[in-house]
């Protein structure tokens, strides 16, 4: 694709010849390459380097020197997908305002999110307007494919503020979450626990937690789902703050901030603690013991359950059972 972008730069008089091939390959990039690609695309296509004709037409005005890009987008709006990566903020803003169709791939959705985090406020406003126009039209599989990367970027991209909240309206859609849940259930490898901790901020996920607890392949996913169900609440990373170590010397450290909410109305099986305590993974059994410590009054046959945990083959589970045995149940 870099070769095609270079060809685009060398044939600026007839860009239409290269556009279809570029728009075929560009959407296939993974979303996690959007930051690197934004630089490579601009360099390969030599964006930000107006031709002499551009300058003559614009009268050497710094604000109007990109008239060629603007006229191309007016004639063929698909050019906007490439000009999202233009180094000039006026062009990026115009590209977002000219787009009327939703992103067709996870990469293009990531590119729009990157513009929500743009250093230029007018570009962030244009990206906000665009997402508000098309958020209900974005295909659910496109949204779900971009979610692992973009949800993780929420607190590491630093320029956006309320613009990041637009992602909640997209990722929390009821037609998106079943696809995310299916991915979490069927996938064996990867940082799925981190992904699930990010997704639980959306209340619509609650109805899927019993299925994740019962059948997710990765034990870490089952453990988190059980922990949410057994404690009746979910917790997620809400951002970062600063904690003073020494105010006199101005020493502080960055610390995570968490938010939580109770589970929405869902019906739980009566033997949920027993299901977790009998899970094949020690990670899940430990989660069951921890939840039992946190909510003693929730289990009617607590003594039998503690006795079962005392016989666990893993010492970390047995130690939790011993703690439960020493600690009397609140009356």
Buried b (16+ CB within 10 A) or exposed e, 9-31: eeeeeebeebbeebeeebbebeb
Predicted pLDDT of residue 60:
47
Can you give the pTM of this predicted structure? 0.84
What pLDDT does 4 receive? 54
Q: What pLDDT was estimated at residue 9?
A: 52
pLDDT confidence of residue 50: 54
Give the residues of the chain that fall short of pLDDT 50.
Answer: 57-58, 60-63
Which of helix, strand or coil describes residue 262?
Answer: strand
- What does the pLDDT look like over 14-38, one tens digit per residue? 566 677 778 888 889 999 999 988 8
Q: Which residue, 259, 257, 254, is CA-closest to 242?
A: 254
Backbone angles phi, psi at 318, to 5 degrees: -60, -35
* pLDDT value, residue 176: 95
What pLDDT, on the 0 to 100 scale, is given for residue 76? 84
HSE (side-chain half, CA atoms, 13 Å) at 102: 17
pLDDT score recorded for residue 48 = 58
- Select from 217, 212, 215 the least CA-distant residue to 181: 212
């Amino acid at each position: 694709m870099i070769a095609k972008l270079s060809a685009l730069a060398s044939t600026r008089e007839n860009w239409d010849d290269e556009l279809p091939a570029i728009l075929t390959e560009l959407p296939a990039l993974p979303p996690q390459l959007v930051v690197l690609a934004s630089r490579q695309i601009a360099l390969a296509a030599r964006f930000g380097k107006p031709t002499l004709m551009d300058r003559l037409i614009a009268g050497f005005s710094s604000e109007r020197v990109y008239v060629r890009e603007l006229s191309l987008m007016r004639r063929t709006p698909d050019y906007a997908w490439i000009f999202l990566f233009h180094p000039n903020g006026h062009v990026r803003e115009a590209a977002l305002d000219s787009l009327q169709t939703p992103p067709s791939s996870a990469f293009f959705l990531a590119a729009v999110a990157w513009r929500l985090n743009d250093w230029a406020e007018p570009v962030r406003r244009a990206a906000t307007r665009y997402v508000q126009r098309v958020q209900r039209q974005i295909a659910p599989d496109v949204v779900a494919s971009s979610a692992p990367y973009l949800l993780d970027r929420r607190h590491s991209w630093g320029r956006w503020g309320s613009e990041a909240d637009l992602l909640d309206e997209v990722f929390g859609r009821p037609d998106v979450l079943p696809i995310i849940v299916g991915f979490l259930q069927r996938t064996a490898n990867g940082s799925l626990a981190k992904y699930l901790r990010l997704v639980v901020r959306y209340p619509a996920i609650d109805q899927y937690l019993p299925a994740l607890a019962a059948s997710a392949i990765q034990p870490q996913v089952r453990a988190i789902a059980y922990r949410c169900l057994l404690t009746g609440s979910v917790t997620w990373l809400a951002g970062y703050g600063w904690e003073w170590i020494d105010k006199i010397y101005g020493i502080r450290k960055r610390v995570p901030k968490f938010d939580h909410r109770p589970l929405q109305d869902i019906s739980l099986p009566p033997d949920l603690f027993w299901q977790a305590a009998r899970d094949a993974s020690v990670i899940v059994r430990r989660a069951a013991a921890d939840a039992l410590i946190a909510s003693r009054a929730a289990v009617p046959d607590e003594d039998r359950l503690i006795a079962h945990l005392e016989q666990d083959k893993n010492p970390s589970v047995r130690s939790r059972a011993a703690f439960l045995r020493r600690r009397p149940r609140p009356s």
